[in-house]
A and B are shown apart, each in its own frame.
Chain A
Amino acid sequence: MGRGSLYAPFRLVTTTTNNSRSTRRFKLNWVDGFLWFIRVTAVIAIVVGITGSVQNFIAGEGPTLEQWRDLVISSLSTGFMYGLIALGYSMVYGVLGFINFAHGEVFMSGSMVGLIAATMLFDNGFWDANPWASLLIVLVIAMIVSTTVAVITERIAYRRLRNAPRLIPLITSIGVSFFLQYAFAGLFGVGVRSYPAPPGGLNEDVVIFGIEIQGTKLLVIGVALISMVGLWYFVTRTKIGRSMRAVAEDKEIAGLMGINVDRTIVTTFAVGGAMAGVAAMLWALLFRAVDFLTGFLPGIKAFTAAVLGGIGNLPGAMLGGVLLGLFEGVGPLLVLSGLGIPAVSQLKDAVAFAALVLVLVFKPDGLLGERLGSEDRA
């Protein structure tokens, strides 16, 4: 009861045991009926929509093949960026079992401070003279800032809540998220700011395997892949990575085995933050504009990506990110405009959220399966 007493008001509904739920076979009641209705409607809508789009395409209406290709490539690069942010959600959920709602703001902080560096470099001409070095500097600064913010939030807000019921840290992280957003609004002002244009020949197209790809997008995908591989190596091959996995499995036992749990958790936040920092620079390359709300939507979408791939599962987070990028980039045009809905690009975010709902209705443990410690499965 010790953990119960202080947080007694927050005994929110969290106790559904996963294994008993997912395998429970009930007689078909109307709740299941409704879920099946959603599933069937979704499938029908998607099939009809795609058919409509294909017919349009054959009739020579709508986007051309090149436009489709560009759309897919830019969705992919956005997706890789989501994947990098998703890693942070996934790692924290894997180790501590709560959704760090403020992770989007960790990402935002990197891109905001990175902007200062980029602008200063641009102003003294270094940006154009040494494009690669400048990008590297911005990257390093964004990573340092995001990592610092992630570690500080862990220290101040989450550490004391380690044994609280899981919705407590979630609510706290919502507060942290708001606080960070408006702290940045206060410090940097509320206006939208722009990064200087990507340096050098990055805007030109590069031909790979006979496909023309815009340089920035290729760079984004490349950096994301390298980071992912690096992270994978870190988690599976190093001692710290091993202790992270041990802590994810069972904090108490890991502590008994001589692992410094506190330090490992800080490392988890730091690594997640660093990945968000990388994503922050990629965001700058792709979209250039940042403001204090920049982190909110990518944050939620990255969480969706993490769930889609299977929360706690790192390759899953990356896969989920890429898929989500495709869904929201290509989905509206492919499915919704096929259904005859006008101005589909407005519905991009709605598609991403609908994807979240559908993933959780269709496959709550994600495409590659959840990896959670024993205590977090509840």
Chain B
Amino acid sequence: MKSPAYTRRLGLIAGTVMSFTGAIGMIQTFNERTLINPYLRMGDLTLYMTPFVLAWLAARGEPNPLHEPEREPMAGAAQGAVVGLIAGALTSVFLLVINTFDLTEFFPNMRPATIDAMTFDLGVPVGLVVLTAVSAFVGAAGGYIFGLPEHIRRGLGRATGWVLAFALFEVVVADILSFADIIVDVIYGPRGGLQIWSAVIIGALAWWLSARYQGQVKEFSNRVRGADAKSRLRRSMIALGVFAAIVLPMLLGGILNELLVNVSIFILMGLGLNIVVGYAGLLDLGYVAFFAVGAYGTAVLTSTSEAGIGLGLNWWLALPIVLVMASIAGLMVGTPVIRMRGDYLAIVTLGFGEIVRILLLSDWLTPFFGGAQGIRRIPGIPVPFIGEVSGTDPQLFIYFMLLFVGLAVYISYRAQNSRIGRSWAAMREDEDVAEATGISTVQAKLLAFVAGAIVASFAGALFSAKVGTVFTNSFDVLVSIIILVLVIVGGMGSIPGVMVGALVLIGILGGPKSPGLLQEFSEFKLLIYGGLLVFMMLTRPEGLIPSVRRSRELHADELTQDAWLDKGGDFARGDGEEVAT
């Protein structure tokens, strides 16, 4: 029996979350986007996702590792309905309070428009009843679906997922299909949002395909994952990936390429921070400083502007100089912190990052770095036969990004599986023992700092050439934290993890200054980043795509094999007995 107290608590949590999303203005902002014409708006989806998910959890009951949860649709529906009802009622009370008292002086988002947005524009008495009823219904649906057999749940999930993907990423679909505007016009409504019947078709198709090819996809991905690094399968997959990377930008329009350029800058920085944090285990919170060194270094060397030094060098000539500068910066930051405890190191590097930003901004160094004006007139990257490539032409610029991302991936991959990578891993696991095993931790740490700094300076140099002007506010602490979030969400120490993390976070939610695919999120992305970081730490600290090294321990099949080895009949405390837990 699932306890009523648990259900009640989930209901209260759901109500609080729903009220909170309303109070920060999220529902209202999101409702401006229609997903499925004319029934589903993004705000409503967000609002009712909460009772759905929590009703699902209520139907599952309190997590109990000892037995599988029971799956009974009707019982689940009842429970879910209770969750939804409590949530809806709580939210209604909250809306009543907003309606009764004028709180807009302090809480700008608690205004009548919020109530309208949350009650399908029905206003106070009627809307609140509708809200509660819908919430209870959605909750019941959540509980009911939990109880359904697996293949139906999977089909539903796939169908919903694909419909939402088509609805949310309308821009991408439209951009890819830009050669066939007619199709786009058929799928989507004139003012955005999927047409209802195209949603039905997409959903049905997704369901059918998932049922048809279920298992085969998984089998194939397992085969690729399990394949040897040198096998033909693995190689052909990599070749396919490279081919896709080369062809894709040609298919996409300027906006998406621009977005991809932004994402790749963060992938680059993520890969660099991954060396420092994921491989060597040094929590660097001031990583943006190296990005700044790369960007400002390039700016000073290549700019032709009057402010600042402006040497007007060729970008390709500036790059090696910038790399040397970044290495020196890596040493300068790395050396003082080398003997510090891990957590002190984190705060001190954060301090370094801020010092760099403040100095760049100061009047004192304005003659060199332009102060608040920044450095302007930074030329693009000169290429023979094409001319200068800069951010104004993202379709070309993306290839530079791909080149350097490829380089960083290659460096990371090689470093990870080498003598140096092993020394980092050893140091991360146990610094004292690593030292006693003959590893100079001083050297290993400095090497990690320098390698990380160099990768970040790639990103900085490209950033400079892309935007043409650098200001200090691109080098906020925020950037350091966001890079950390994407590395952690993706999976520390995992190269694909970092790439997926950057794509999902920067690409969809948006970077510190630039919007992502879902522009509606731009106001709330940092809130989500913070919440995501906490959520990942509490539930899935190894990240979305954990690194091989870290997931290895999941395959602890020692017990059986040991029994086989000790078959000769041993003492009670043979090898197999004491598998550590």
In this complex, what residue of A is CB-closest to B532? A175
Q: Which of B355, B481, B485, B493 has the most CB of A within 10 A?
A: B355
Q: Which residues of B contact A99 (CB under 8 A)?
A: 343, 346-347
- Docked Cα-Cα span, A346 to B538, in Å, equals 39
Contacts A15-B431, A179-B531, A347-B362; A9 near B484 (Cβ below 8 A): no
Asked if B530 and A176 sit within 8 Å, CB to CB, the answer is yes
- Docked Cα-Cα span, A181 to B477, in Å, equals 14
Q: Which residues of B contact A175 (CB under 8 A)?
A: 485, 529-535, 537
Asked if B341 and A1 sit within 8 Å, CB to CB, the answer is no
Which of B108, B109, B491 contacts A9, CB < 8 Å?
Answer: B491
A107 within 8 A of B: no
Q: Which residues of B contact A6 (CB under 8 A)?
A: 541-542
B24 within 8 A of A: yes
Q: Which residues of A contact B24 (CB under 8 A)?
A: 183, 186-187
Q: Which residues of B contact A304 (CB under 8 A)?
A: 347, 351
Q: Which residues of B contact A178 (CB under 8 A)?
A: 481, 526-527, 529-530, 533
How near does chain A come to B415, taking the closest CB pair, in angstroms?
A: 17
Contacts A9-B542, A346-B358; A21 near B348 (Cβ below 8 A): no
How near does chain A come to B548, taking the closest CB pair, in angstroms?
A: 12
In B481-507, the 8 Å CB interface with A consists of 481, 484-485, 488, 491-493
Contacts A31-B335, A176-B530; A116 near B106 (Cβ below 8 A): yes
- Docked Cα-Cα span, A157 to B539, in Å, equals 11
Asked if A188 and B106 sit within 8 Å, CB to CB, the answer is yes
In this complex, what residue of A is CB-closest to B492? A9
Residue interface mask B344-370, A partner, CB < 8 A = 1: 111110111011001101111000000
Which of B343, B533, B580 contacts A14, CB < 8 Å?
Answer: B343
In this complex, what residue of A is CB-closest to B491? A9
Q: Which residues of B contact A15 (CB under 8 A)?
A: 430-432
B222 within 8 A of A: no
In this complex, what residue of A is CB-closest to B344? A360
Q: Which of A178, A187, A349 has the most CB of B within 10 A?
A: A178
In this complex, what residue of B is CB-closest to A297? B354
B153 within 8 A of A: no
Residue interface mask A77-109, B partner, CB < 8 A = 1: 000000000000000000000110000000000
Asked if B358 and A350 sit within 8 Å, CB to CB, the answer is yes
Q: Which residues of B contact A12 (CB under 8 A)?
A: 277, 281-283, 342, 428
Q: Which residues of B contact A185 (CB under 8 A)?
A: 527
Asked if B339 and A16 sit within 8 Å, CB to CB, the answer is yes
- Docked Cα-Cα span, A3 to B527, in Å, equals 29
Contacts A8-B542, A14-B341; A186 near B336 (Cβ below 8 A): no
Which of A35, A38, A171, A181 contacts B484, CB < 8 Å?
Answer: A171
B581 within 8 A of A: yes
Residue interface mask B387-419, A partner, CB < 8 A = 1: 000000000000000000000000000000000
| B-binding segment of A126-134, A162-170, A208-216, A267-275 | A162-170
Contacts A13-B342, A167-B343, A179-B527; A2 near B581 (Cβ below 8 A): yes
In this complex, what residue of B is CB-closest to A344? B364
Residue interface mask B546-569, A partner, CB < 8 A = 1: 110010010000000000000000
Asked if B358 and A349 sit within 8 Å, CB to CB, the answer is yes
Total count of chain B residues near the partner, CB < 8 A: 80
- Docked Cα-Cα span, A88 to B362, in Å, equals 32
Which of A31, A182, A300 contacts B526, CB < 8 Å?
Answer: A182
How near does chain B come to A74, taking the closest CB pair, in angstroms?
A: 21
Which of A17, A31, A168, A180 contacts B338, CB < 8 Å?
Answer: A31
Asked if A364 and B344 sit within 8 Å, CB to CB, the answer is yes
Q: Which residues of B contact A157 (CB under 8 A)?
A: 534, 537-538
In B440-493, the 8 Å CB interface with A consists of 442, 445, 477, 481, 484-485, 488, 491-493
Asked if B335 and A174 sit within 8 Å, CB to CB, the answer is no
A189 within 8 A of B: yes
Asked if B553 and A8 sit within 8 Å, CB to CB, the answer is yes
How near does chain A come to B363, taking the closest CB pair, in angstroms?
A: 4
Which of A35, A161, A341, A343 contacts B537, CB < 8 Å?
Answer: A161
B194 within 8 A of A: no
Query: What is the count of residue pairs linking A and B with beta-carbon distances less than 8 angstroms?
Result: 212
How near does chain A come to B552, taking the closest CB pair, in angstroms?
A: 9
- Docked Cα-Cα span, A176 to B442, in Å, equals 32
In this complex, what residue of A is CB-closest to B108? A189
B208 within 8 A of A: no
A119 within 8 A of B: yes
Asked if B534 and A13 sit within 8 Å, CB to CB, the answer is no
- Docked Cα-Cα span, A307 to B485, in Å, equals 26
Asked if B354 and A350 sit within 8 Å, CB to CB, the answer is yes
Asked if B336 and A35 sit within 8 Å, CB to CB, the answer is yes
Which of A8, A167, A180 contacts B346, CB < 8 Å?
Answer: A167
Asked if A35 and B335 sit within 8 Å, CB to CB, the answer is yes
Q: Which residues of B contact A341 (CB under 8 A)?
A: 364
B25 within 8 A of A: yes
Contacts A182-B526, A357-B351; A11 near B336 (Cβ below 8 A): no
B26 within 8 A of A: yes
A148 within 8 A of B: no
How near does chain A come to B137, taking the closest CB pair, in angstroms?
A: 28
Asked if A167 and B543 sit within 8 Å, CB to CB, the answer is no
Contacts A12-B342, A357-B352; A347 near B537 (Cβ below 8 A): no
Contacts A175-B532, A183-B527, A343-B364; A357 near B348 (Cβ below 8 A): yes
Asked if A353 and B363 sit within 8 Å, CB to CB, the answer is no
A177 within 8 A of B: yes
Asked if A179 and B534 sit within 8 Å, CB to CB, the answer is yes
A361 within 8 A of B: yes
Q: Which residues of B contact A2 (CB under 8 A)?
A: 581
Which of B445, B524, B553, B581 contacts A182, CB < 8 Å?
Answer: B524
- Docked Cα-Cα span, A260 to B83, in Å, equals 33
Which of B363, B428, B524, B530 contacts A13, CB < 8 Å?
Answer: B428
Asked if B109 and A349 sit within 8 Å, CB to CB, the answer is no
B340 within 8 A of A: yes
Q: Jot down 27 A-B pairs with beta carbons below 8 A, ordered by A.
A: A11-B428, A12-B277, A15-B432, A16-B341, A16-B432, A31-B338, A161-B537, A161-B538, A168-B537, A171-B537, A174-B285, A176-B534, A177-B530, A182-B526, A186-B109, A188-B107, A189-B109, A307-B344, A342-B363, A342-B364, A346-B358, A346-B361, A346-B363, A346-B364, A353-B354, A357-B348, A364-B339
Further pairs besides A5-B553, A174-B533: 17, Cβ < 8 Å: A6-B542, A11-B429, A12-B281, A13-B342, A14-B342, A31-B338, A35-B336, A119-B106, A174-B484, A176-B530, A178-B529, A307-B344, A341-B364, A342-B363, A360-B336, A364-B339, A364-B340
A: residues with CB less than 8 A from B are 1-2, 5-18, 20-21, 29, 31, 34-35, 38, 98-99, 115-116, 119, 157, 160-161, 166-168, 170-172, 174-183, 185-189, 296, 300, 303-304, 307, 341-343, 346-347, 349-350, 353-354, 356-357, 360-361, 364
8 nearest CB pairs, A to B? A186-B24, A178-B530, A175-B533, A179-B530, A353-B351, A182-B527, A12-B281, A14-B342
